[in-house]
Amino acid sequence: MSRNLPVTLHDIYLARARIAGQAARTPLIRSHALSARFEAEVYLKLETLQPTGAFKLRGALNCIAALDSAQLERGVTTASTGNHGRAVAWAAARLGARAIICVSELVPRNKVAAIEALGAEARVIGRSQDDAFVEARRLVDEEGMALIEPFDDPLITAGQGTIGLELMEDLPELDQVLIGLSGGGLLGGIGRAVKGINPAVQVNGISMMAGAAMIESLAVGHPVAVEEQESLADSLGGGIGLENRVTFALVREVMDRHFQVSEPAIARAMVHFFEQEKMLVEGAAAIGVAALEEHRLDIRGQRVALIVSGNGIDADTFMRARDMAAD
């Protein structure tokens, strides 16, 4: 697949073949609590059960598996503080490639240790994510390593789209899907898959109130820089890239509706998962429940899937969410 071409349904089927036996085919379970509350059939797609705890593994595996043997020998690199960095480290180890994950000095030591535990080198550079990306790009230019983008790459997006194939196989009567929206790789990939199989499926993107780069970019018709804001859904922060090549156009094409949710709504949704679903999930994974509640979405009688995207949360963050939800 050329990295300058749109992501097709065929690309997503090819991605599934590449990652088979590596990424998990995650379960789709019915939420009894949410189904009763909203008088609908509400299902949870548990990407929390990936080996690295988040959906990012699918895209990283697809991207690295598409490299030839010479490129695998030279290795792969990226800059990340969280789920993407762990996914690249895990995928590289499984596929026999050297990996250097560039992080800034602000990344907590426990996150650096988690990357190293997966067999990658964590290279600490500068005081920001931008500084870390400068080093990653130097490794590409000077050492010939392959840069594994976090989202704006057709191979990454096609990998995330394999979630959509599984959704349609497990729930062919799907009416709506609610997906956290950040850089657009997850929503774009899933949207392409489900609409490629059934164009009537409604694809809903969910963002936090502040720092939602994709939705602000869509509003003005081109990618824009947005100041990142602190949020319980921190995985949805960050920009989409002013030179975005793939996900901006794809999200604009496949997304039907978009909702922004408040921090208290995200907090209540996280507590719901803990108390009712018996799951500890990050804010970005709970954001579909936040949208159902805060926007009082009428889904009565429908079959609705929520993408539970990851479990990258620590005890302090959950306690903060619980306190906020109680206010």
Does residue 248 belong to any structural domain of this protein? yes
Same domain, 268 and 194: yes
Same domain, 29 and 123: no
Would you say 160 and 186 are in contact if contact means Cβ atoms under 8 Å apart? yes
Does residue 81 belong to any structural domain of this protein? yes
Would you say 240 and 223 are in contact if contact means Cβ atoms under 8 Å apart? yes
Same domain, 282 and 203: yes
Same domain, 91 and 197: no
3 has pLDDT over 60: no
41 has pLDDT over 80: yes
Assign 229 a pLDDT band (cuts: 50, 70, 90).
confident
Mean pLDDT of 167-182: 98
Would you say 180 and 109 are in contact if contact means Cβ atoms under 8 Å apart? no
Query: What is the pTM for the complete model shown?
Result: 0.94
Same domain, 92 and 210: no
Does residue 180 belong to any structural domain of this protein? yes
How far apart (Å, rounded) are the C-alpha atoms in residues 189 and 11? 10
Same domain, 205 and 287: yes
Same domain, 87 and 120: yes
Same domain, 320 and 280: yes
Same domain, 137 and 161: no
Same domain, 211 and 298: yes
Eight-class DSSP state of 180: E
Same domain, 127 and 181: no
Which domain-ending residue is among 84, 111, 144? 144
Assign 1 a pLDDT band (cuts: 50, 70, 90).
very low
Mean pLDDT of 38-57: 96
Q: Looking at residue 5, what is its pLDDT? A: 58
Does residue 60 belong to any structural domain of this protein? no
Does residue 68 belong to any structural domain of this protein? no
252 has pLDDT over 50: yes
Mean pLDDT across the chain, nearest whole number? 93
**Counted domains in the chain:** 2
- Domain region containing 111: 76-144
CATH number of the CATH domain containing 110: 3.40.50.1100
Strands lying side by side in the sheet with 99-103: 121-124, 99-103, 76-79, 146-147
64 has pLDDT over 90: yes
Same domain, 88 and 187: no
Which domain-ending residue is among 96, 121, 144? 144
303 has pLDDT over 60: yes
